[in-house]
Structure 1
Amino acid sequence: MTETLNGRHIVVTGGTGALGGAVVGRLLEQGAICHVPNAHAAAPPHFPFAAHASVHLAHNVDLSDSAKVEAFYHQLPELWASIHLAGGFTMAPVEKIESASFAEMMDTNARTAFLCSRAAVRSMLASNTAGRIVNVTARAGLEPRRGSGMVAYAASKAAVAAMTVAMAEELKGKGILVNAVAPSTLDTPANRADMPDADFAKWVSLEAAAEAIAYLASPANQAMSGTLVPLYGRA
């Protein structure tokens, strides 16, 4: 019988966001214990699982700060999986991108994924756990010719994709499976507000994305590693 997530400890960065909430909800349904780092001093009011017994929020954790990331992972129980949803998005023509904006995209998307992946790997190796790491790249990171104004964003997400494949190759002899999903537009309230005239039916539902992520993080995934899973919906 395939092992389940029941009682397994899983980190979900970006867990208080729209996709994060869907992922945390799916993991809880499967019996996981979720550890959610939060950049703020308190849980956002829209996060539905703040009082859940199997959700442990850690406040004031800056995921771009190496010391704070290491301290957060160091205090966790034996870690099974680490899922990295934290990130950001910005658009601008290349001639208008400021150096600080480019650096912010790299910090928010690539640096946070690297620091959390590194800390998770250290934890798994220390406990001899054949765990799972799941990153989130994007369609723009795999297909940068699509659209315009996304040079900084595409570069940061391409870095996440390359890092995922490189880590998977490096860790394949140690039992740690590393994968990423690459969504196109997710069907979130914020995206609907920003693009009210779009065909929402073509977008990727949060439930579908959460299901894919939960599978990659589960013991049921026995062989997929170094895979960049396209989640493009009908776009």
Structure 2
Amino acid sequence: MTFTDKLVLVTGGAGALGVAVAGALLGQGAQCIVPYRDEAEAQRFAFRDNKNVRLIAAGDLANESVVEGLYDGLKLWASVHIAGGFASGSVEDTDKAALMKQIDGNLVSCFLCCRAAVKAIKATGNGGRIVNVAARPALEPRAGAGMTAYTIAKSGVATLSISLAEEVAKEGILVNAVAPSIIDTPANRKAMPKAAFDKWPKVEEVAATIVFLASPDNVVTRGGIVPVYGRS
């Protein structure tokens, strides 16, 4: 598997999963574009000094003009959309503002990036790949009890991925998503100190699935929502 001379954009690249994805792509020869929200995020990005990385200040990816500016003029092979956010809370305790924050941060941002990515990939005339990040509750909504706003948003990401895959298949663009369970990150361990960490999927394992789906080696898989649950 190689990404030599291929340009890949990774949103959410400064997070634990994003860093693992970027690292795997760079290891396979990719040129990576990683948007960031603020200078602190850029400074903690592990590969900021890599000559094959371009960090771009982008701001809110739920803002249409921000996303259009980010993708403008790019000739992409792939776009990987990891950016998002999590919040728990019962329906009773979730007001409209909290609901919209989840929808904007997870679904609207993904939709806008997918839209811009399709245009950028089509500009190459060579096809390409889009990989989104849904979540286990998108496939198992009962598991989303207590985090319904998040589940709604990630279910939208899953549906977007399936329907878009049908729209752009004729262009040679394969669209898929992964659906992780709880990923083994320092933040998740801190939040759930009594959990069975050994059963959680590791960031490198989830990243490996994403990178395959984004790669030229993936020639047949489209419209998939791939469970990456580990043993959890």
TM-score over 0.5 for the pair:
yes
Q: Matches of 1:110 and 1:60 in 2, distance apart? A: 17
Percent identity, please: 48
**1:148 counterpart (145, 157, 166):** 145
Q: 1:71-82 maps to which residues of 2 (within 5 A)?
A: 71-76=69-74, 78-82=75-79
Tell me which residue corresponds to 1:89: 86
Pairwise CA distance, 1:141: 1.1
TM-score (norm 2): 0.97
Pairwise CA distance, 1:42: 5.1
Tell me which residue corresponds to 2:66: 68
Pairwise CA distance, 1:147: 4.9
Q: Matches of 1:74 and 1:147 in 2, distance apart? A: 36
Pairwise CA distance, 1:29: 0.5
Instruction: Give the root-mean-square deviation of aligned CA atoms.
Output: 1.2
Q: Can you give the 5+ residue segments of structure 2 that lack an aligned partner in the other structure?
A: none
Say which SS state the counterpart of residue 96 (structure 1) adopts. coil
Q: Matches of 1:43 and 1:143 in 2, distance apart? A: 32
Q: 1:102-181 maps to which residues of 2 (within 5 A)?
A: 102-181=99-178
Between 143-152 and 168-177, the greater mean CA deviation after superposition:
143-152
Say which SS state the counterpart of residue 146 (structure 1) adopts. helix
Q: Matches of 2:214 and 2:186 in 1, distance apart? A: 26
Give the counterpart letter for 1:176 in structure 2: I
Would you say 1:57 and 2:55 are equivalent positions? Answer: yes
Give runs of ≥4 in structure 1 deviating > 3 Å.
Answer: 41-45
Tell me which residue corresponds to 1:192: 189
Change (3 A) 1:6 1:161: same
Contact 1:109/1:156 (<8 A) preserved: yes
Pairwise CA distance, 1:75: 3.6
Tell me which residue corresponds to 1:23: 21
Q: Matches of 2:189 and 2:73 in 1, distance apart? A: 38
Q: Matches of 1:219 and 1:160 in 2, distance apart? A: 23
Contact 1:133/1:217 (<8 A) preserved: yes
Between 145-154 and 109-118, the greater mean CA deviation after superposition:
145-154
**1:47 counterpart (45, 48, 54):** 45
Q: Matches of 1:42 and 1:7 in 2, distance apart? A: 29
Q: Can you give the 5+ residue segments of structure 1 that lack an aligned partner in the other structure?
A: none
Aligned residues: 232
Pairwise CA distance, 1:148: 2.3
Contact 1:43/1:50 (<8 A) preserved: no
Change (3 A) 1:42 1:201: closer
Tell me which residue corresponds to 1:32: 30
Give the counterpart letter for 2:51 in structure 1: A
Q: Matches of 1:36 and 1:75 in 2, distance apart? A: 15
TM-score (norm 1): 0.96
- Deviations along 1:137-191, one digit per CA (max 9) or x if unpaired, are 0001110101521110000000000000000011111110000000000000000
- Deviations along 1:8-48, one digit per CA (max 9) or x if unpaired, are 10000000100000000000000001100111145444321
Between 104-113 and 42-51, the greater mean CA deviation after superposition:
42-51
Say which SS state the counterpart of residue 62 (structure 1) adopts. coil
Pairwise CA distance, 1:126: 2.4
Contact 1:42/1:59 (<8 A) preserved: no
- Deviations along 1:104-138, one digit per CA (max 9) or x if unpaired, are 00000000100000000011122213100000000
